[in-house]
A and B are shown apart, each in its own frame.
Chain A
Amino acid sequence: MSVKVLVAEDEPLMRERLLGMLATAWPEAQVVAAPENGVDAWDAWLEHEPQVVFLDIRMPGMSGIEVAERIGRRSHVVFVTAYDQYAVDAFDAGAVDYLLKPIQPGRLDKALVRLREKLDARPDDVSDVVRQVKDASPEPKREKLKWLKASVGKQIRLIDVEEVLFFQADTKYTRVVLADSEALVRIPLKDLVGGLDAGRFWQIHRGTLVNVNAIRAAERVDAERMQVLLRGSDEVLPVSRSFTHLFRE
């Protein structure tokens, strides 16, 4: 039985190396995507919902830690790092698996043995470790987005992010919906996600981010599907299966 695997690593040679080693050591692994930054990694995760994710810690867009935070307990996560002692200490304390770059074959085999054992169980909760690593990280906290620039006709409009009801992906653009109007910004939604406060804007679908304060209700459509009703807009937003847990009591 094949296992869906995602490998996120920003340096091409290191990516090739991990992919090559996985191909030999774990033939059942089916690598569904090998993105080169955190933003694409999260987008690819949304698209494929792999069972196993290898995440480099230092990546552009979103760090591996931030991606893991979003994934939560929905995939088995193995972190990959060259030398982030603060992270390694936290991983050791929380029994989270990690690989040190350059990855040595023996070490990868060990991680794979552990992964195969855990594969059928619910993934470990890494949220404590993730929080710890974020606190200990010497890297500065990424500034959250406060304003968006959107061109409306001939004008450039400045939009306060707090006033946005929801963001919706529209191919290469993002639809930004406010209570009284809407605008199109020239940034793909996946690139916006990392700059938005994950607690304030919930991702309920690969293509939808909704302001928590704008949610009036969530309702069940059938056994699998849900949808969100909004304050200040008549639009109904579908919730994809992997995000229904946000609304479970």
Chain B
Amino acid sequence: MSVLLEVQGLEVSFDTPDGKVTAVNGVDFQVRAGETLAIVGESGSGKSQLVLAIMGLLAENGQASGSAKYLGKELMGLSQKQLNSVRGKDIAMIFQDPMTSLNPFLSIERQMTEVAMHHNKISHREARAHAVEMLRAVRIPDPEERIRQYPHEFSGGMRQRVMIAMGLLCAPDLLIADEPSTALDVTVQAQITHLLGELREKSQMAIILITHDLAVVADVCDHIIVMYAGQVVESGSVDEIFYDPHHPYTRGLLESVPRLDRPSDTELHAIRGNPPNLLALPEGCAFRDRCDYAQEACKSTPPLWRDAQNGAGDGTGDGTGDRGRGRSNRCILGLPGGELVSPAKQPDAEAKQEGHAAADTEVGA
């Protein structure tokens, strides 16, 4: 599979009255044609700013550096005009809040035909027919009628489906969906995820799905990167991340999902504490204050990025060794081969160190 988007050393920072905030701190990843990548992390982990930077949509006080190549062509540093030929056509994006990302003053027809007429240089009539077809593809009932309506006449779930239809108008190679189902009811969330799953199977489109909830991407993604405090802390295939998470943060995210199949009289597992203040990151590992496995060493040494060759074994399929691609994580413990069990609040540090001594010798990079 060819590489569609290659991001290397991407940094995003903002000038704020309190100082310079680094929201994204050196992120690498790849998206290959037809693949679905999930970017997972809490609020403030930098996952949205990362894709906004790639799309040239940062707020005015934001600066981005590093490289993001779309089919070999550098996107960083392009003018807005140059980006306009890529955005919507090659790379489309849908946002979290479907109410605020549609223009309430314009009919759906107007909003949808504008995009197609601009990029494909077609007549209004053709554009309209195409838009109706797309609405039908995302299961809007009665699309010929509904296309005349305004956003407020649609329910939340329908608006999000309209957004997806708009994103699909120019048959992009890559669709970026930033928390597409977060503001919606579970039932509608299930519909939207189902729709994305269908699109993924039917078209050759690659998708980047951004979410704070690992559960919603379980059945629709191929590859996952987990972000914390502006850095990627773990990456791997969907099965690797779900069945053999190496980083304690990934484990925490998985365990905090409320499940119907867990006994209800137990405490829910939460990641304790709060997302870190990016202006005052702790020394060493940014996650250590919230980590159940933290040790002395975590206080001083920032964990390096490393490939885990001793992973699940089937993780090497894609692992060409490039950062942010194969099975890798950013933790001095790395917890390879661990089972997904609730970690004890205070694990026996000695036993831990012994158990991972072998893994630690491989820390390189």
Q: Do A and B come from one complex?
A: no
Residues in chain B within 8 A of chain A (CB atoms): none
A contacts, CB < 8 Å to B: none
